[in-house]
Amino acid sequence: MLVVSSAGVYYYYQDQQASTLNQQHTAELDAALTSYKALSGSFNESLDGYNETLSLLAGAVAGLNTSTPAYHEASLALASLWSTYQSLAKARGSGTLAYEVHMLVDFGNGTRVWYNDTNVQPGWNGYVATLVILDGRVQATWYPQYGEHFVTGIDGVADTSADYWFLLTYNKTSSWQVAQVGADDIPMLNGTNFAWVYCPENASYLPACQLP
């Protein structure tokens, strides 16, 4: 009788301990879940904030005088912010909400650099996309009366009295052609192909070199 009673007490004690541990684990799980929900909400808010800031910076860069320090700082910040935003969006598993575009930079000396499958934000124009893809390594003059940037240098290669940067667009019908509008007026769509080519101009102010 004593042996049975002792065994009963032992198993009761073990059961109580297991129940207590289970309650502790449940409480810890609930706390972790609450923290996760808070962090998730904060993360999503941060992502939305990044997206809003990107739009504001892109708008500022598109209309700032290129000779001001603010323009230089904004252009560099835009490229960095876009990179961080894509990483955050990828971590959330929601995609980057971006278009894929393809940009070629032809330096006119046999060096051609393709930036394929590059992500840009919907709503960006050709100038802002170029600025971001090249991490701000673009020199330009802003003409507010036209709402246009005139690109005078890319990646340290500047216009001269003989050679200039020309903007080209591409379509399947006519292949590469000189853009009829400035980079600010070219919308970035999913799959857009465009190029910057450095070469002399002819008497008609068109590139005097073979197009890609």
So what's the pLDDT on residue 29? 46
Whole-number Å distance between alpha carbons of 149 and 110: 26
Statement: residue 115 has pLDDT above 70: yes
So what's the pLDDT on residue 34? 53
Q: Please provide the average confidence, as pLDDT, over all residues in the chain.
A: 79
Statement: residue 116 has pLDDT above 50: yes
**Length reported for the chain:** 212
Statement: residue 138 has pLDDT above 60: yes
Return the DSSP state at 144: T
Question: Residue 49 is encoded by which pair of tokens?
Answer: 């904030």
Write down the CATH number for the domain with range 51-200.
2.170.130.30
Residue whose pair of structure tokens reads 């002792």 in the numeric block: 6
Looking at residue 120, its amino acid is V
Confidence of residue 37 (pLDDT cuts 50, 70, 90): very low
- 89 and 46 in contact (C-beta within 8 Å)? no
70-91 pLDDT per residue, tens: 787 888 888 888 887 887 777 6
The larger pLDDT score, comparing residue 23 to residue 55, is at 55
Q: Lowest mean pLDDT of 32-36, 57-61, 181-185, name the range.
A: 32-36
Helices in the chain by DSSP H: which ranges? 2-63, 69-92, 126-133
- How much of the chain is helix, strand and coil, in % rounded to 5? 45, 25, 25
What's the rounded mean pLDDT across residues 166-170?
Answer: 95
- 119 and 133 in contact (C-beta within 8 Å)? no
What's the rounded mean pLDDT across residues 32-51?
Answer: 57
So what's the pLDDT on residue 101? 95
Rg, C-alpha atoms of the chain: 29
**Spans of all domains in the chain:** 51-200
Whole-number Å distance between alpha carbons of 197 and 142: 20
What's the rounded mean pLDDT across residues 38-61?
Answer: 67
Statement: residue 35 has pLDDT above 50: no
The sheet with strand 112-120 has its strands ordered as 112-120, 99-106, 193-200, 163-171, 175-178
